[in-house]
Amino acid sequence: MPELVAQNRYAVVAVILFGIGLLNLMLQQNLVKKVIGLSIMDSAIFMLLASLGYIEGHGAPIVEEGAVDASLYINPIPSGLVLTGIVVSVSVTAFSLALVQRIYQRYGTVELPELLERAKKEED
Amino acid sequence: MSERGGWKRFADWVNGETEAGDPTTQYVMDRRPARIQEAHELHEARERLRLKKFLGLYPLAAGLLCVVLIFILLSTVIYIPPFGQPGNPTNNEVSQHYLEKTVEETGASNAVTGMILCYRGFDTLGESCVLFLAVSSVMILLQRDRNNTGERAQLRMKREDAAERGHEDNILQKSAKLLIPFVFLFAAYVLMNGESSPGGGFSGGAILSGGLILYSVAFGPERLSRLLTRSLYSGVRVVGLMAYALTYGVYIFAGANGLSIDMEWMMTVIELAVGLVVACAIYGFYAMFQRGKI
């Protein structure tokens, strides 16, 4: 069991980070902290993806002229996928933070219970 | 005749009118007991109790769900192939093809750049669109101008701006003057050399926007907005995305039809376009969150 965990240490850490992020997202009452939890989940996914492409002892995938041998370099596909993921994560984070700022301008709070209370009072 | 009747019945049904010919519905509707109006306070108290019960139960349920999820994921993760071995199923013939043929087919010796800009160019085009749309929606949400800002808020903003202008940070300005040319030079290097060295459109664009943000912090946003006006900013964004779409369209058209066009300059154009889109996006986020205008 310990050696199984040690073999996949990056994946195990990624899963734990994912759990921390999800718990943050669900339990925090502050909207900004919820967004932070979402970014922690994103980072966990990137870590898992990047570790999947790594091959021990191989170099970065910048192919030298002449010596084209696939067994010298790591797998480039997960790196490209992480790039895509980072862009989407940045966009989502910025958009949700903008929404939180608008909520703050409208209701004067980012704490969820107070926010619900004020929204309900306004509705009545 | 029957067709017309059917159409009329259908229209009546769409409009929600009860059918005169069907007496049962009418009967049921008529016989339904009147809704009992609850006392307002009773209703309120019941709602509050329900919310309290929900709020008490919710953290427990969420925590339990998270623990169960982590447990399931961990028990799966232990059985995936060991980290860093060359024989793992992720390292298959696709990555081998990318590594061996990138120089020959795309002219880029950086396999990651070659992959995301040529083999998977549509994916990256979609990404650029995501960034573009994110900036646009952040602008829609946070834009501050005469239409949506009250007089008091505008006065406060003006006061804050004036206070900031009065306290110029000497250390920051001197070091920014030293640093900014090198930041821009490095951004240009990363942008232009992305296909043969580490880097590429995304990282180059991020460095470029870092330089812009440093300038804005050190010398005040007004000086930057005199150089990089609103219309110039929007123009650069749109031109970047359009240049990418057009160049990649030509690339796909020529490649699919076997025309021989030198592809190397196309990579550089696409990379520059991606860099401009990314730089505009990140600087746009900064400016929108800081002041609500470019």
Residue B201 to residue B164: CA distance in whole angstroms: 34
Which of A5, A26, A54 comes nearest B66 by C-beta?
A26
Lowest-pLDDT range, A30-39, B48-57, B223-232? B48-57
Task: Say yes or no for a CB contact (<8 Å) between B83 and A8.
Answer: yes
| Nearest chain A CA: its distance from B158 CA (Å) | 18
pLDDT range class, residue B14, cuts 50, 70, 90? confident
Q: Residue A87: what residue type?
A: V
pLDDT range class, residue B240, cuts 50, 70, 90? very high
Contacts of B95 in chain A (CB under 8 A): 70, 75-77
* pLDDT lower than 50: segments of chain A: none
Nearest to B282 by CA among B225, B221, B205, B219: B205
* pLDDT tens track for B177-196: 999 999 999 999 999 888 78
Contacts of A12 in chain B (CB under 8 A): 74, 77-78
* pLDDT tens track for B196-216: 888 888 899 999 999 999 999
Interface test with A, best of B67, B91, B130, B144 (most A CBs within 10 A): B91
Residue B228 makes CB contacts below 8 A (sequence gap 6+) with: B212, B294
Nearest to A113 by CA among B66, B43, B59: B59
**pLDDT above 80 (res B2):** no
Residue B288 to residue B279: CA distance in whole angstroms: 14
| pLDDT, position B21 | 57
Which of B:8-47 have CB within 8 Å of A? none
| pLDDT, position B126 | 92
| Nearest chain A CA: its distance from B131 CA (Å) | 6
Which of A7, A65, A102 comes nearest B82 by C-beta?
A7
Q: Give me chain B's average pLDDT, please.
A: 84
Q: Which residue is it, tokens 């021990």?
A: A56
| pLDDT, position B20 | 57
Residue B180 contacts A, CB cutoff 8 Å: no
Q: What is the average pLDDT across B97-115?
A: 83
| pLDDT, position A23 | 92
Residue of B nearest to A21 (CA): B66
Give the largest CA-CA distance in chain B: 89
What is the torsion angle, in degrees rounded to the nearest 10, for the CA atoms of residue B190, residue B191, residue B197 and residue B203? 70
**pLDDT above 70 (res B270):** yes
Which of A5, A52, A102 comes nearest B78 by C-beta?
A5
Share of chain B above pLDDT 70, in %: 88
More confidently predicted of B161 and A41? A41
Share of chain B above pLDDT 90, in %: 33
